[in-house]
Chain A
Amino acid sequence: MFSSLGNLQPRQLAAQVLNFALVLSTAFMLWKGLSVFTNSSSPIVVVLSGSMEPAFQRGDLLFLWNRGQETQVGEIVVYNVRGKDIPIVHRVIRRFGGGSAPLQLLTKGDNNAADDTELYARGQSYLDRSKDVIGSVVGYVPFVGYVTILLSEYPWLKTAMLVFMALTVVLQRE
């Protein structure tokens, strides 16, 4: 397998490596392009918990849009708790402010009996739309995100997948 690589001229080897690098960088730039388009740092998220059931299940894929600053009650937003890096997908149940004042939102998961006041940072009673919210859910695809949940729960899967991808792209010269 690898002997075929050793026979290549240096330029051809560079071309093969370039193919692999282009696959990775195109995927990354497409992601960043979508980020720029939706103005969200994470335009596609995977549902991690069952707090929005039966609407969203673990493993569902959500498409976010972050260009509307006047979020309405009933919209489903994704936010990060201040200081933590876990995105939470919940529905807005109260709003105060907006316009010239900062928009304050209270959220609650459909499958939670209580609202999110206890989830927010200490001393924080409401979310700030401009600071805490990553985006608002506009589209949904069931199940397909389950792969990412598997990848995060079994980290060796991630390495294995990347190595496999690398091998197939570099060794195949199609």
Chain B
Amino acid sequence: MHNTLTRVQNVFGFFTSVAFAVAAAIAISVVLSSQTPSASLQLRNVQVVKGRPHYYSTKREEYAHITFSLDADLSTLFNWNTKQVFAYITASYPSDSPASIPESEAVVWDAVIPAKNAPEHHNTYIHPTKSTARPKTKKERLSLNKAYPPGKEPGILKLDKQKPKYQITDVSGKIAERNNATLTLHWNVQPWVGALVWDNRRTVGRWQGLKGGEAAFEFPPLKATEAKKEDLKTATGKEKNRGSPA
């Protein structure tokens, strides 16, 4: 400690070591939290239409519009080290040669569910509410802007006849009449510090595996008649970057 510089260096070094140790402790301690997620997922309707699903699509191709119902309790996924849970539902179907090529998979809907102590961000899922009455108090107004139904906690999702966020295509351009397709709920827990984890179907230690959250379906044949525009509406997310992606 023979001069100020050395003292500053020592303090800074000590701070770094302590910060590192605390972060490591937090990251590893999540193994001790217990998780009991549950979900039930049903397909409501699936339509396959030929057209241009995206504004940048250069050719007409078959795309599928899938609506579903979801009743999920992911609240136990939120522990002291959870920053947000990215919940997403995918549709997967076998490839053209299932023996050597695994299933193709595409995201149909996703939601960013922040933890209670996460800072406010516009790109957050807002859970639809049944009540159409205008909120009277500020408390009511705030509770309607949450990622979960009023009176519940983060991770509770109760969706009925939910429209998809994305209309999915296959790389070959043909998605009609594919059988043995599955709709599956997944999640990705984003920590404050440490390892990212995805959904587990098998129980690992104190983390129960998810049972349910799957629905088998089949892609119907191409819609012969013109599909109504309202039927093909998608749910809009809260992403701010529109137009040119960053």
Contact = CB atoms under 8 A, between A and B. Distances in A.
Bound pair: A and B? yes
A138 interface: yes
A110 B171 contact: no
A50 B245 CA distance: 10
A137 interface: yes
Given A96-B171, A116-B245, A110 B112 contact: yes
B237 interface: yes
B8 to A, nearest CB: 12
Given A110-B86, A126-B171, A140-B190, A94 B105 contact: yes
Give the contact-size bracket for chain A: 35 or more
A55 B95 contact: no
A117 to B, nearest CB: 6
Interface size class of B (residues with CB under 8 A): 35 or more
B195 A72 contact: no
Nearest to B107: A93
A116 B244 CA distance: 9
B123 A97 contact: no
Contacts of B188: 74, 76
B192 to A, nearest CB: 7
A73 B198 contact: no
A119 interface: yes
A98 B103 CA distance: 8
Interface of A: 49-51, 53-55, 70, 72-76, 91, 93-101, 104, 108-119, 125-126, 137-142
